Amino acid sequence: MARYTKSRDWGFPRWRGYTDTNHAAQKVRMCDREGCTLPGNFPAPKSPNSPERWYFCEEHVTEYNRGWDYFAGLSKEEAAKRQAEEKSQSTGYAYSSYSWEGSASGRSNEVIQALKVLELEVDADFEAIKIQWRLLAKKWHPDLNGGNEEAAKRFQAIQAAFDLLRNREERGSL
């Protein structure tokens, strides 16, 4: 009769048994601040444009960053030039129309933008939105403005804003 041996897979083929002998301790890099015994998980540059890094714990990296001078070692002209270069490269981020945190009113940024197009406050209810939409639509309608190109664009923006707000109201997420 064959002898039965129990599998060490525990039902999961990728887990295999606990007979693995690779249980060596992992090396942990300690904080580079003298006297600190916490793990140094946060890299910080030793100097601007240098690949060398310090490794600090969370407490010491915040202390380090508070005193960090990005323009250290540069003249005023070089610092101004570098700041202007980096600002020109990041202008798309500074003027984006969305953000992750939302607003204090609890409304999304696209709803807030639509309310601004309709010239309303952030806390306006849907009845006020409908009234304002009717007033602005009559004011900026292309047929009433003699084919004015600017009026047509403004009317389209007003209509798009109202459509967004109406869809949100129908879904119950306004």
Q: pLDDT for 79-117, tens place per residue?
A: 889 888 888 776 655 555 555 455 556 788 888 899 999
Residue 125 token pair: 């209810």
pLDDT tens figures, 45-91: 887 677 888 899 998 888 888 877 777 778 889 888 988 888 877 66
Whether 81 and 134 map to the same domain: the answer is no
pTM (whole model) above 0.75: no
Q: Is residue 99 part of a domain?
A: no
Are 131 and 121 in contact by the 8 Å Cβ rule? The answer is no
CA distance 67 to 128: 50
Range of the domain at 115: 109-171
Q: Is residue 102 part of a domain?
A: no
Instruction: Report phi then psi at 84, rounded to 5.
Output: -65, -40
Q: How many domains does the chain have?
A: 2
55 three-class SS? strand
Q: Is residue 120 part of a domain?
A: yes
Task: Point out the domain boundary residue: 52, 87, 122.
Answer: 87
| Rg of the chain, C-alpha, whole Å | 30
User: What CATH number did the domain enclosing 131 receive?
Assistant: 1.10.287.110
Whether 116 and 156 map to the same domain: the answer is yes
CA distance 165 to 122: 12
